[in-house]
Amino acid sequence: MTDAAALPGQPRGAVVSGPATARTVNVLAPNPSAMTLDGTNTWIVAEPDSGLAVVIDPGPLDDVHLRAVIDAVERSGRRVGLTLLTHGHPDHAEGAGRFAELTGTKVRALDAALRLGDEGLGAGDVITTGGLELRVVPTPGHTADSLSFHLPADRAVLTGDTILGRGTTVVAHPDGRLGDYLDTLRRLRSLTVDDGVHTVLPGHGPVLEDAQGAVEFYLAHRAHRLAQVETAVEAGNRTPSDVVAAVYADVDRSLWPAAELSVRAQLEYLTEHGLIQG
C-alpha cells in the first residue's frame, strides 16, 4: 500500500463528509464516477463564531444531497448566507438553483448565466459573509469560467476542478485552454510560495496537505504530456484520436473521450507556439 505522504500533494486519505480545516466542512455528493472520483465535494465555509455560512458548489440536482448540506449547516448553528460556484459544470452547479430556492440565498459565479442575483465574481473580489475573508482567484483553463477561492485564515485554497485530490484534471477544449491553465497553475504556485497556502480543498478527491507539491506535480505532468503529444505527432499521429491512442495507451479506455479533450487543447497550444504544424 502506498504511503499517502509519498503521493503528489500528500492526500489526506479517504474522502469523507466532515470538517477539513478550522473553517471548512465537506459534504460529499452521491455522484461517484470515473470523472467525479468519489463524488463532488460541496464545501461549507464559515468563521468559527459566525451564524452565517458560505456554500461552494452545491453539486448535482439531488434533493437528498442539497438537504444534507443544509442540515450540516444548521447542525453547526448557522444558516446559509451565500452560494458560490467554482464553475458551471453540472456536477458542481446543476443543483445551485434548487439550493438557492431552499435557502433563499443568492448564487454568485463568474458566468452571468449561472448567477441568481446581480453580483458576479471576479479578480480582486473578497467574500466577507459572516466575517469571512475569502478571496476570489480567477483560475481559467479547465473551463473559461473556473475560479478558486483563497481562504487565508486556514492557509487553504478551494480549487474546484483546477486541482483534484487524486489524478489530474481535464482541460475541457474548446472552452478550456492549455495556455490559460498553465498560467493558472503558476498563479496557484505563487499562492503557495508568497501567501503561505499549504492545503488544497478540491472539488473531487481527498484534501491535499502539500499544495506546492501538488502544483509542481501538475506543472511537471503537463510538460511531460506536451512532450509526449509532440513526439506522437512527429511519429505521424495527426488526429486527436490517434494521439490519444499513442499517448494514453496505459489509461482506461473509458477515459479516452475526456483525454481527447485535453489532447485537442494540447495540439492547439503546440500549434499556437509553433512547435507543430497546424
Distance CA 204, CA 256 (A): 19
Q: What is the pLDDT of residues 20-76, one digit of tens each?
A: 999 999 999 999 999 999 999 999 999 999 999 999 999 999 999 999 999 999 999
Segment 145-161 mean pLDDT: 98
The one-letter code for the residue type at 33 is S
Residue 278 has pLDDT above 90, yes or no: no
C-beta separation of 239 from 196 below 8 A: no
Of 2, 28, 5, 38, the residue nearest 214 (C-alpha):
5
Q: Is the pTM of this model over 0.85?
A: yes
pLDDT for 167-206, tens place per residue?
999 998 999 999 999 999 999 999 999 999 999 999 999 9
Distance (Å, rounded) from C-alpha 220 to C-alpha 117? 40
Using left for φ > 0, alpha for ψ between -120 and 50, and beta otherwise, residue 274 falls in: left
